[in-house]
């Protein structure tokens, strides 16, 4: 295996008394889509901004394309592309002007017109930035991040705040980049995004990487339990459902009870008996394969969006 294109060892970052990163370590191979998955405030953006050279680390070793992101000069910036958590451009800048301007900053550059065409912005080339929709702005941000044929692409929450349809459009674009073997570091708090797009994922919580591997490997960690999602005619307490046979964990969210069971048949039988005895009824019941959400729950005792 060749040397990793991104290396992060024991990375630390403090904001005053707040310890944002407490020794984060991971490596990314060339051509890999690597995801940093975690809830808001976990340290994902701090990590990616240090890797982009936007913030200095307080400790640890960071290398991208063999370069220190804090190194002076433009060599490092020539190698990377970035979609920031929120990209802003001047309101009265036209789409075509924006991408041509950013292309002109680099030694290695792609044809801006071809990029606009690829990202479906050809007809918007004379439109002011302020007139673009959220999805169009994000597509432009992606197009701009590729103007220099970057060796590493950083995507910080690329679909945050976008509606489901636009999110799917962005997924399609990232999947195309994945097929081109582009190295991508993606941060997200969407399980679906990490499972669908990433070759490997590091789950990050409270400034620490608590697990990493392929989505399949991570989910196998939860292989000992199966997730049962159920709706009831009348509410029940989590504590009561936890007493059922084979139940490892149970929590309720938006009227849905998620029960993790080590012995599914026994759990279902004891559930039915319990409901009958208490005059309650099942409205629906789904048995699902474990997801990264379950892995996170198992590791932290919290849900990603808590």
Contact positions toward another protein, by CB under 8 A? Answer: 52-54, 74, 77-78, 80, 82, 84, 86-90, 92-93, 97, 101-102, 104-106
Q: What are the structure tokens assigned to 42, written together? A: 């976990």
Q: HSE on the CB side for 150, CA within 13 Å? A: 28
- Closest approach, Cβ 103 to another protein, in A, equals 10
- Closest approach, Cβ 50 to another protein, in A, equals 12
- With respect to another protein, which residue has the nearer C-beta, 59 or 90? 90
Q: What are the structure tokens assigned to 304, written together? A: 């990603």
- Closest approach, Cβ 89 to another protein, in A, equals 6
- With respect to another protein, which residue has the nearer C-beta, 74 or 278? 74
**8 Å CB contact between 36 and 185:** yes
| Look-up of token digits 């729950």 | 297
Contacts of 192 by beta carbon, 8 Å cutoff, 6+ apart: none
- Closest approach, Cβ 102 to another protein, in A, equals 6
- With respect to another protein, which residue has the nearer C-beta, 10 or 85? 85
- Closest approach, Cβ 145 to another protein, in A, equals 9
H helices of 1-43, in order, are none
- With respect to another protein, which residue has the nearer C-beta, 147 or 230? 147
- With respect to another protein, which residue has the nearer C-beta, 91 or 254? 91
- With respect to another protein, which residue has the nearer C-beta, 77 or 227? 77
Q: What are the structure tokens assigned to 194, written together? A: 């990490």
- With respect to another protein, which residue has the nearer C-beta, 82 or 186? 82
Distance of CA 285 to the CA centre of its chain: 29
- Closest approach, Cβ 101 to another protein, in A, equals 5
CA distance 203 to 218: 9
- Closest approach, Cβ 90 to another protein, in A, equals 5
Helix (H, G, I), strand (E, B) or coil at 117: helix
């Amino acid at each position: 295996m060749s040397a990793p294109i991104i290396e992060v060892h024991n990375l630390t970052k403090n904001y005053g008394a707040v310890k944002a990163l407490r020794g984060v370590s991971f490596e990314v191979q060339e051509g890999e889509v690597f995801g940093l998955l975690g809830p808001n405030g976990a340290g994902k953006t701090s990590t990616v901004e240090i890797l982009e050279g936007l913030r200095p680390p307080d400790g640890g070793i960071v290398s991208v394309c063999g370069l220190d992101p804090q190194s002076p000069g433009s060599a490092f910036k020539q190698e990377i592309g970035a979609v920031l958590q929120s990209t802003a451009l001047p309101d009265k800048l036209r789409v075509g002007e924006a991408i041509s301007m950013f292309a002109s900053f680099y030694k290695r550059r792609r044809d801006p017109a071809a990029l606009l065409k690829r990202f479906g912005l050809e007809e918007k080339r004379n439109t002011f930035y302020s007139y673009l929709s959220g999805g169009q702005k994000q597509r432009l941000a992606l197009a701009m991040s590729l103007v220099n044929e970057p060796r590493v692409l950083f995507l910080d929450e690329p679909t945050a705040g976008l509606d489901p349809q636009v999110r799917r459009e962005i997924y399609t674009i990232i999947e195309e980049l994945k097929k081109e073997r582009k190295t991508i570091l993606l941060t997200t708090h969407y399980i679906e995004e990490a499972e669908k797009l990433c070759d490997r994922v590091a789950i990050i919580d409270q400034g620490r990487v608590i697990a990493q591997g392929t989505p399949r490997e991570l989910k196998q960690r939860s292989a000992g339990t199966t997730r049962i999602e159920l709706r009831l005619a009348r509410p029940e307490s989590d504590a009561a459902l936890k007493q059922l046979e084979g139940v490892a964990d149970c929590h309720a969210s938006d009227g849905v009870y998620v029960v993790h069971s080590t012995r599914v048949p026994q759990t279902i039988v004891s559930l039915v008996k319990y409901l009958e005895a208490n005059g309650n009824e099942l409205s629906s019941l789904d048995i699902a394969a474990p997801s990264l959400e379950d892995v996170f729950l198992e590791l932290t005792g919290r849900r990603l969006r808590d």
